[in-house]
Amino acid sequence: METKITEKIKEKGNNNLKNKTNKMTNSIFKNKIRSLIVTIMIIAAGITGCSDDSSTTPTQANNLSFSSMSSADSVGDLQGALVLDTVKILIKEIKLNVANNNQDSSNFKTGPFVLFLNLSAPVNVISAGIIPDGLYDKIKFEVHKLNDNEAVPDPEFADSNGRYSVIVKGRYLGNNFIYKSTKSAHQILQFPDSVQVTSANLTNITLIVKPYIWFIENNAYLDPREPSNSNDTDNNIKDNVNNNFRAFKDDDKNGIQDN
């Protein structure tokens, strides 16, 4: 009889111990959950705080935008022998030259980046940025073939055969073609009139590119599929004397030089 009573007392004690242990475990677990929740809330609050700080940091408004425009030069081509669908140019950087100072220029955009000519729209805005207030008389940029150590911003500018600076897609006499140029060229374009840039207003410069001229020699179209024509085509691309490129102030972005 005493043995049974003793066993019951021990059993009750063990149950009490188990209950206390479970309560302690639950309490520790709950505290850990609370701690985890608090930690997540602190981290989240920290992220939100950083975001709020950055959003309230004052920034200067852009004072210069840069746009492009494609121009068709058919040279009396009434049959539509050459039709261009896509034109992409890889640009390394764009700089504006301070008027009357050939050694002083301001970076507008660094790259390399892809200049995509929208052949179905009059003007395509490329980018906007900030440059020092001043009077500028030239724009400088480089049509750039990627070096081997440079990241490719567009997969079409690199393949198993090499890297490229210009990609043109279209049709010649109804046959599809893809023309890829490997030439790099520095371009310096004189503005018809010097462009005044101030922080008070947004000034826009439009670059006109005439891609159809690239495939014209002696007033006749060159077959883009023919490798023997590539040298003449590449020279046309890099030769701004032939009016392949032209730049001017165009604040209303209508493709016409402002008065």
Question: What pLDDT score was predicted for residue 36?
Answer: 30
Question: What pLDDT score was predicted for residue 7?
Answer: 52
Question: What pLDDT score was predicted for residue 41?
Answer: 27
Long-range contacts of 71-74 (CB under 8 A, 24+ apart): 71/208, 71/209, 71/210, 71/212, 72/210, 72/212, 73/210, 73/212, 73/213, 73/216, 74/212
Question: What pLDDT score was predicted for residue 28?
Answer: 40
Specify whether the CB–CB gap between 86 and 169 falls below 8 A.
yes
In a structure prediction context, what are the per-residue pLDDT tens digits for the chain, which is 259 residues long?
545 444 554 555 555 545 544 554 454 434 433 333 332 222 222 222 233 333 333 345 788 887 887 766 555 455 678 888 889 998 888 888 999 887 677 777 777 788 888 777 678 777 888 888 999 999 888 888 888 888 888 899 999 989 999 999 999 999 999 999 988 888 888 999 999 999 888 999 988 888 888 898 888 889 999 999 999 999 888 776 556 788 899 998 888 899 8
Closest to 129 in 3D by CA, of 179, 104, 175, 95: 95
Question: What pLDDT score was predicted for residue 203?
Answer: 92
